[in-house]
Structure 1
Amino acid sequence: MQNKPNRSKLTLFALTWPIFIEILLHMLMGNADTLMLSQYDDNSVAAVGVSNQIFSVVIVMFGFVATGTTILIAQNLGANKNKAASQIAVVSIWINILFGLLLSIVLIIFGKPILAIMNLPEELMGTATMYLRIVGGFSFIQALIMTLSAIIKSHGFTKDAMYVTIGMNILNVLGNYLFIFGVLGAPELGATGVAISTAFSRILGTIVLFVMLFKRVRGELPWAFVLQKFPKKEVKDLLKIGIPSAGEQLSYNTSQMVITYFIASMGTSALTTRVYTLNIMMFAFLFSVAIGQGTQILVGYLIGERKHEEAYRRGLRSLWIGISVSTFAAILFAVFSHPLLSIFTSNTDIIQLGSLLLVLTIFLEPGRAFNLIIINSLRAAGDVKFPVIIGILSMWGIAVTISYTAGIWLGFGLIGVWIAMICDEWLRGLLMLRRWKTRKWEQMSFIDVNQNQN
């Protein structure tokens, strides 16, 4: 591999800060869409918010390959099995291209019926359908972005993905400015303009990621590998990690869609409040997301090197860092909730309710940190089934059930939904920590380190 990083320099900070910037910019892209649309029309904000809820489920479908790719490449590189790591990279790219094209077709054809199932108010249907068909139609591009980024970051080049995201953000904001408001002779398209801008920036981002991939691992990616024979072992290993991991994520996203269905019955104002509040909340758990991804790469390397004690301590240190930083951020956003929400809207009812939800987020974020960091550590070590079993039971038994009971039946509205989220995150998080401390994952590595090294 060319430009191979020094593994001794793959510290949590070295890996995490570019991931942090990358995810921050992804979130800023979504916030830029929301903020710019809020200056155009509140209904467009709600329509795009619900459409993105559906698209988030599609991303999970691509994520199962990306997750497996990250873990398998990290474990194999940790064990100095470079050839196996390269074969996994090629197989993952082909899988997600084919899978992405399939889901793109599904969203184009069935976009409107899916939105109807979401109980979307009729006045939002036209805008949401157009947005979902454009962004969803280019789902295969997002699939490639996730896969290429996973390969590059697993090799330690987390800065590369960050640079690409910076460029995508700049293009997206410029495109929004042109097509939402019809600036410089461009057509005034509103939410449709956001969709076009998003798709275009992702296409260019994919091209640049391919260039970076060839630059970083050229000569070690056997592109003809999948044409010589069906890569049964590589596909099996990817699915062994990816399907359970996707199951946990898919369960979360579909449960959130059901909760969104409940919120939709509360009216457009409730939907809009949720979108604005979530856009601010994202910055609170951003730290845990970045630390979780960086920890996953490090734990994967350590497992490949059979350094289980170091992997165990790494997971716990990352957890306490994530809890501390994300909780501090949540407190900060709660204190400045009114001015932050005022950036998006002047509606006093939305600002008041959103501010209360941000106060509740202070109790939510520590629980979320457990899940984002410890679950990633468990996956990296090979323990992928336990998180999905507990996740499904808690998300549907706690989050969905309490959201309906407290939010709809008892009439607490969005406050009831936030209480349900707090209960769900804390229950799952504490169970994940208990699982990590049992150290059953020590015998669950996906590679055989006794095989000949590549």
Structure 2
Amino acid sequence: MEISCNVNKKTKSEILQLAWPSIVEQSLIMMVGLVSTMFVGRLGNAAIAAVGAINSMIFFFQAVFAGLSTGSTVIVARLIGEEDYENAKLAVMQSLIMCLIIFIALTVLGYIFAIPLIHLFFGHISKDVFDNALLYYRIVLIGLPFVIIDIVIGGALRGAGDTKTPMYITAVVNVISFLLNALLVFGVKVNGNYLIPPYGVKGTAMAVTIARVIGGFLQLYILYFAKRVINLSIKDKIRLDFKMMKRIIHVGLPASFEQLVMQGGFLVMQVMVATMGTVAMAVYQIGMNANSIAFMPIFGFTLAATSLVGRSLGAKEYEAAENYARQTNSIAVKVITVIGVCMFIFAKQLAALYSTDPTVIHMGSVVIRIFAVIEPMLAVMNVISGSLRAGGDILYIVLTAFAGLWAFRVLIGFILGKLLNMGVYGIWIGICFDFAVRSCMYWFRFKAGRWKYIKV
């Protein structure tokens, strides 16, 4: 009994050691995102609706790279577990090469078809929302390659067990983003004259893009010049290794498809909300920001689970892998339950941070309370799916993501929100159904145990 207790204490210590930097990282992202949304919210409902809509579209574009990052994270974790550091470095190089090729295609097409894309995704939105959306989109697209670099290199470092370096880089990036938002959105007056003119939505787009460019260069510096578990050298020849690419794609392609399915579902929801008017779009964006607050600690625990489970499976320590997953899930559920209770109690105050419109504040607080009730399910859904990804059980996650998002989130959201005229409330009830169903599906899959023996 004493030995078992000591093992569990050691396991929890390892989990927290890996999780806390990622939690801090997400806290910084959330705080700066919250402040940025507050700035934009003061520009009016059209501005916050436009920024929220374009961010949904950008996240859709990033889905492919997030999948390749997952492939890189899982493969690197396995190789580190096998103590094969040379191939771990090779995996990072191949991930970057693939991402850059895909990026060039997406960016060129994204600029050429900017106006048709916005119309395609969001239909006939009001002129104010459209003008703000197009302005924001054309600027933030410039920063997309640096987001990709950050996603891939950060994912590889986390797979190797280094969660602190991405945290430090995120801290720098988000402080820069915050300061630039504060300076550029409303401008800076000195003695009644503008030292820096107010740029509005253009200002927040510039702030985010400049910060992302700096973040991408910092990640490259760390990869090539800092001493970490995984480093490349500028003397290394850039070479294609199709065998390693195939291995990454084996994990990354289903993960990319999962992300496309998910982000596609998010976009459909955004389009559905766009037909409900500017107020509904603003309320929906408040709900999504509440989601990001909840995701803050879950992200850290999910990454800890993926890294620890992946390394344990690489070393063929199957019981340890399962124990890491269970312990991480247990901690995450307890933490998110506390956050959910606080969000439920202070829902109105939280909504008021994003808007001064009484209608938006009231509706936003209702949406936040709906979401707060389901938060423990969100922890299970993310941590257990992270463990299944580490085991290579990506195809199951893709299928369940499709079922959860389209059969529950989208379909129930459409029935309740549109057909039964519940509006944005119906949309969020559909989202909660999705969380509940997928968390159950992942838990039963995890308990079956076959994920531990999949070859990746």
TM-score (norm 2): 0.92
Alignment deviations for residues 175-223 of structure 1 (CA, whole Å, 9 cap, x no partner): 1122211225223221111111111111111222222223124995366
Aligned length: 439
Provide the residue aligned with 1:4 in structure 2: none
- SS of the equivalent of 1:344 reads coil
The residue type equivalent to 1:315 in the other structure is A
The residue type equivalent to 1:114 in the other structure is L
How far, CA to CA, are the matches of 1:13 and 1:100 in structure 2?
Answer: 34
The residue type equivalent to 1:166 in the other structure is A
- 1:242 has 2:252 as partner: yes
Q: Deviation of residue 96 (structure 1)?
A: 1.6
Provide the residue aligned with 1:75 in structure 2: 78
Provide the residue aligned with 1:325 in structure 2: 335
The 3 A distance-change label for structure 1 pair 64 and 304 is same
Q: Assess if the C-alpha contact under 8 Å between 1:100 and 1:141 holds in 2.
A: no
1:273-422 aligned at under 5 Å gives the runs 273-422=283-432
Alignment deviations for residues 80-114 of structure 1 (CA, whole Å, 9 cap, x no partner): 11111111011112222222232222222222212
Q: Deviation of residue 145 (structure 1)?
A: 0.9
Q: Deviation of residue 429 (structure 1)?
A: 1.1
Q: Deviation of residue 226 (structure 1)?
A: 6.7
Provide the residue aligned with 1:266 in structure 2: 276
Structure 2 segments unaligned to the other structure (5+ residues) = 1-9, 189-193
Q: Deviation of residue 445 (structure 1)?
A: 3.0
Provide the residue aligned with 1:53 in structure 2: 56
How far, CA to CA, are the matches of 2:41 and 2:452 in structure 1?
Answer: 49
Q: Assess if the C-alpha contact under 8 Å between 2:45 and 2:278 holds in 1.
A: no
How far, CA to CA, are the matches of 1:261 and 1:219 in structure 2?
Answer: 41
Provide the residue aligned with 1:89 in structure 2: 92
How far, CA to CA, are the matches of 2:397 and 2:298 in structure 1?
Answer: 17
Alignment deviations for residues 388-429 of structure 1 (CA, whole Å, 9 cap, x no partner): 012112211111111110001001111111111111111111
Q: Deviation of residue 263 (structure 1)?
A: 0.9
The residue type equivalent to 2:434 in the other structure is D
How far, CA to CA, are the matches of 2:349 and 2:71 in structure 1?
Answer: 41
Provide the residue aligned with 2:183 in structure 1: 178
Q: Assess if the C-alpha contact under 8 Å between 1:101 and 1:139 holds in 2.
A: no
Q: Assess if the C-alpha contact under 8 Å between 1:331 and 1:359 holds in 2.
A: no
Provide the residue aligned with 1:452 in structure 2: none
* Correspondent of 1:142 among 137, 142, 147: 147
The 3 A distance-change label for structure 1 pair 65 and 223 is farther
- SS of the equivalent of 2:113 reads helix
Q: Assess if the C-alpha contact under 8 Å between 2:146 and 2:215 holds in 1.
A: no
Q: CA RMSD in A?
A: 2.0
Q: Deviation of residue 443 (structure 1)?
A: 1.9
The residue type equivalent to 1:158 in the other structure is T
The residue type equivalent to 1:197 in the other structure is A
The 3 A distance-change label for structure 1 pair 167 and 339 is same
The residue type equivalent to 1:272 in the other structure is A
Q: Deviation of residue 121 (structure 1)?
A: 2.6
- SS of the equivalent of 1:156 reads coil
Structure 1 segments unaligned to the other structure (5+ residues) = 1-6, 447-454
Provide the residue aligned with 2:115 in structure 1: 112
Provide the residue aligned with 1:449 in structure 2: none
The residue type equivalent to 1:251 in the other structure is V
Q: Deviation of residue 12 (structure 1)?
A: 0.9
The 3 A distance-change label for structure 1 pair 92 and 10 is farther
The residue type equivalent to 1:29 in the other structure is V
Alignment deviations for residues 295-317 of structure 1 (CA, whole Å, 9 cap, x no partner): 10111110011011111121122
How far, CA to CA, are the matches of 2:62 and 2:31 in structure 1?
Answer: 18
The residue type equivalent to 2:446 in the other structure is W
How far, CA to CA, are the matches of 1:217 and 1:162 in structure 2?
Answer: 14
Q: Deviation of residue 376 (structure 1)?
A: 0.8
The 3 A distance-change label for structure 1 pair 220 and 130 is closer
Q: Deviation of residue 272 (structure 1)?
A: 0.4
How far, CA to CA, are the matches of 2:298 and 2:230 in structure 1?
Answer: 35
- SS of the equivalent of 1:216 reads coil
